[in-house]
Amino acid sequence: MGETLTVPKNLAETAKRHVWGHFARHGEDIAPPVITRGQGARIWDDNGKSYLDGLSGLFAVQVGHGRAELAEAAAAQTRELAYFPVWGYITPPVAELAERLAGHAPAGLDRVFFTVSGSEAVESAWKLAKQYFKLVGKPAKHKVLSRSLAYHGTSQGALSITGLPGLKVPFEPLVPGGFRIPNTNFYRAPEPYASDYQAFGLWAADRIEEAILFEGPDSVAAVFLEPVQNTGGCFPPPPGYFQRVREICDRHDVLLVSDEVICAFGRIGPMFACSEYGYVPDIITCAKGLTSGYAPIGAMIASEKLFEPFSDGTTLFPHGSTYGGHPVAAAVALANLDILEREGLNAHVAENAPAFKATLDRLLDLPIVGDVRGAGFFYGVELVKDKSTKETFSAEESERVLRGFLSTALFDGGLYCRADDRAEPVVQLAPPLICGQSEFDEIESILRAALAEAWSKL
């Protein structure tokens, strides 16, 4: 018999016929790139072309691609026990991971509820807040506050907390009870705070108390805040912001939820970014970097105060999912934490973050770059039409410049990142935590060429 030849499929065409992409446009003239492998901070497509992964997949691949140790951890756990639910049972990796996470979290946050994703972690936190206040005799406390433009997930509850109107309209009516407060975009701070960073932060925090008082403290359950807000282009908290928010929440018996789905596990520096900014939340939500994206898992880490009403032997938190606390994902997470700790990647980020910022700041000499902001290995470059007035692009210009040219030009230039226009147009960057100056320089060089050409096309 003759040898059977395997003919490679045209995977892009296969995808066009059968794959419904997430947050993706589809059409006869749209062929999604096919990414076939990754190693370190680089990925390759099906034509063998290499790209620098400037977004860590989707803010997730902290330790870089191609870590055999993580694959081996998954295989070893699969051989031992591939799956069992945590519905009244426990598996060894889940118990160990809960202990490890509690050890890294601020003191008092000792109870870990596992999910499959960040959206589920946020959903879990809102449901816990509602039930907790019912159990302690304050059943009217159900509303949540979150910041303008903030993204907190896609499930109906998490989407109701999300502050992006364009994402919500197709799925309305949503879960009632979500209200918006100002974000901490200092680049667009209102007068008279545009020249005083700390005063702006305190103003923004005070708007939270204003909203609580307007809605009624007896009706507000929680405030959901990212340590560094993602959507809009990486808004760090001004000095004193979170301390004022903590005071406000304590004064009105409102829970402070630190949504660290992106910011945790070294993205800002510490394992949990709330430590970087000196506040202790009531709940932390996390996901993405917990396994460096090698397996799907998320977590809600809650304080003992919130757990106490559920510890009487009879009270149930009637919430969960089939794959929350999956033993294979937990085993991968443990191996990932081992790498972060053994290789000192948290300290590496802290040491190299100033160089990353300084390298991106070079782009400020371009007429299209209005602001560079962020923290750790998490930055946004805001694009403007006029630097002197901070005028942004029209919807038509943004479509033409960002989607029509820049996204493709950056990828063709060898950089995978994100050109995002859900708010003001920005380029978002979050490289793997193993990166250093050579990768920073490569990011800046590719960005510079593409941004200069984008400006010439206006």
Q: Which three-class secondary structure string do you get for the chain? A: CCCCCCCCCCHHHHHHHHCCCCCCCCCCCCCCCCEEEEEECEEEECCCCEEEECCHHHHCCCCCECCHHHHHHHHHHHHHCCCCCCCCCCCHHHHHHHHHHHHHCCCCEEEEEEECCHHHHHHHHHHHHHHHHHHCCCCCCCEEEEECCCCCCCCHHHHHHCCCHHHHHHHCCCCCCEEEECCCCHHHCCCCCCCCHHHHHHHHHHHHHHHHHHHCCCCEEEEEECCCECCCCCECCCCCHHHHHHHHHHHHCCEEEEECCCCCCCCCCCCCHHHHCCCCCCEEEECHHHCCCCCCCEEEEEEHHHHHHHCCCCCCCCCCCCCCCCHHHHHHHHHHHHHHHHCCHHHHHHHHHHHHHHHHHHHHHCCCEEEEEEECCEEEEEECCECCCCECCCHHHHHHHHHHHHHHHHHHCCEECEEECCCCCEEEECCCCCCCHHHHHHHHHHHHHHHHHHHHCC
Q: Number of C-alpha atoms within 13 angstroms, CB side, residue 264?
A: 26
Domain 69-343 has CATH 3.40.640.10: yes
In the chain, domain spans: 11-66+345-456, 69-343
Q: Tens digit of pLDDT per residue, the chain (458 long)?
A: 444 444 456 888 888 889 999 988 888 888 889 999 999 999 999 999 999 999 999 999 999 999 999 999 999 999 999 999 999 999 999 999 999 999 999 999 999 999 999 999 999 999 999 999 999 999 999 999 999 999 999 999 999 999 999 999 999 999 999 999 999 999 999 999 999 999 999 999 999 999 999 999 999 999 999 999 999 999 999 999 999 999 999 999 999 999 999 999 999 999 999 999 999 999 999 999 999 999 999 999 999 999 999 999 999 999 999 999 999 999 999 999 999 999 999 999 999 999 999 999 999 999 999 999 999 999 999 999 999 999 999 888 888 888 889 999 999 999 999 998 888 899 999 999 999 999 999 999 999 999 999 999 87
Alpha carbons 114 and 116: distance in angstroms, whole number: 7
Pick the CATH number of 11-66+345-456 from 3.90.1150.10, 1.20.120.420, 3.40.640.10, 1.10.3720.10: 3.90.1150.10
Mode of pairing for the β-strands spanning 255-259 and 283-286: parallel
- What single letter denotes the amino acid at residue 103? G
So what's the pLDDT on residue 8? 55
pTM: 0.95
Cβ(81)–Cβ(327) under 8 Å?
yes
So what's the pLDDT on residue 2? 45
So what's the pLDDT on residue 458? 78
169 by Cβ neighbours in 10 Å (0-12 / 13-18 / 19+) ranks as exposed
